[in-house]
Chain A
Amino acid sequence: MIAAVVYLLCIVTSLLCSFLLWRAYRQNRLPLLRWSALCFAILALANALLFVDLIIFPQIDLLALRSVVTLCALLVLLYGLVLESN
């Protein structure tokens, strides 16, 4: 039960970050903000998958899929950080 609340909070926080970064991106068009917004959106998806995995379909193991999604989120963020942060 507590875990469900925690992972729900993770989804909401990720979405909030993504929304704020995207809003700022629309104002100043800095690519770093676009990549970061995308990263947090994908992290929200990874957390949502966790929710699905643990609560809705506990019989199916989505660990590998979730890891791939999380890794994608990080690669997007790192791409932005490495190429667009100066």
Chain B
Amino acid sequence: MPGEIIPIELRRFISAHFRSVEQLEILLLLHGKHDAPWSIQAVYDVILSSKPSVERWLEDFVRLGFLQKTSETPPRYLFAASGETASLIASLDQLYKSKPVRIIEAIFQRDRDPAQSFADAFKIKKQP
């Protein structure tokens, strides 16, 4: 079970904010190299998904306070999380390097499906 390897706080953090591996890779890229701000193009050159989706996740992370927009035209982004969030992202980074499959599983866990979770909510005994 992913739960045995990933601490519960980290699991909640993942299920609250992550929906794709692309998004995870983007955040960890900016977390890893946070000495200078990143442009969308620079992030895209590493991630190679699509520029609009890279931009969308970057903006999403800015909204969450994980990144900071250091300039508007052209937009540049810098890792900006602090405190508990920063340490969660640091442990996420570490675990993703050592056990990537577990992290990916956590992103796509069954409880990400709202319909299934709705049904599972009616199980009176708590899940292990």
Residues of A within 8 A of B (CB): 17, 20-21, 23-25, 27-33, 36, 84-86
Q: A28-B15, A29-B15 are in contact. Are A85 and B117 (CB under 8 A)?
A: no
What is the distance, in angstroms, from A40's C-beta to the closest C-beta of chain B?
11
Contact between A21 and B118, CB atoms less than 8 A apart: yes
- Could you give 7 example pairs across A and B, Cβ below 8 Å? A20-B121, A20-B122, A24-B118, A32-B114, A32-B115, A32-B118, A84-B114
Q: In whole angstroms, how far apart are the Cα atoms of A21 and B121 in the complex?
A: 5
In the complex, what residues of B have CB within 8 A of residue A27's CB? 111
Q: Which residue of A lies closest to B111 (CB)?
A: A28
The answer on a CB contact under 8 Å between A28 and B117 is: yes
Binding site for A on B (CB under 8 A): 12, 15-16, 111-112, 114-115, 117-118, 120-122, 124
Q: Is the interface of A mostly helix, strand, loop or mixed?
A: helix
User: Closest Cβ of chain B: how far from A28's Cβ, in Å?
Assistant: 5
Contacts of A33 in B (CB 8 A): 114, 117-118, 121
Across the interface, name the chain B residue whose C-beta is closest to A80.
B114
CB distance from B58 to the nearest CB of A (A): 23
A58 nearest CB across to chain B (Å): 35
Report chain B residues within 8 Å CB of A30: 111-112, 114, 117
> Given A28-B15, A29-B15, is A85 in contact with B122 using a C-beta cutoff of 8 Å?
no
CB-CB < 8 A to B120: which residues of A?
Answer: 24
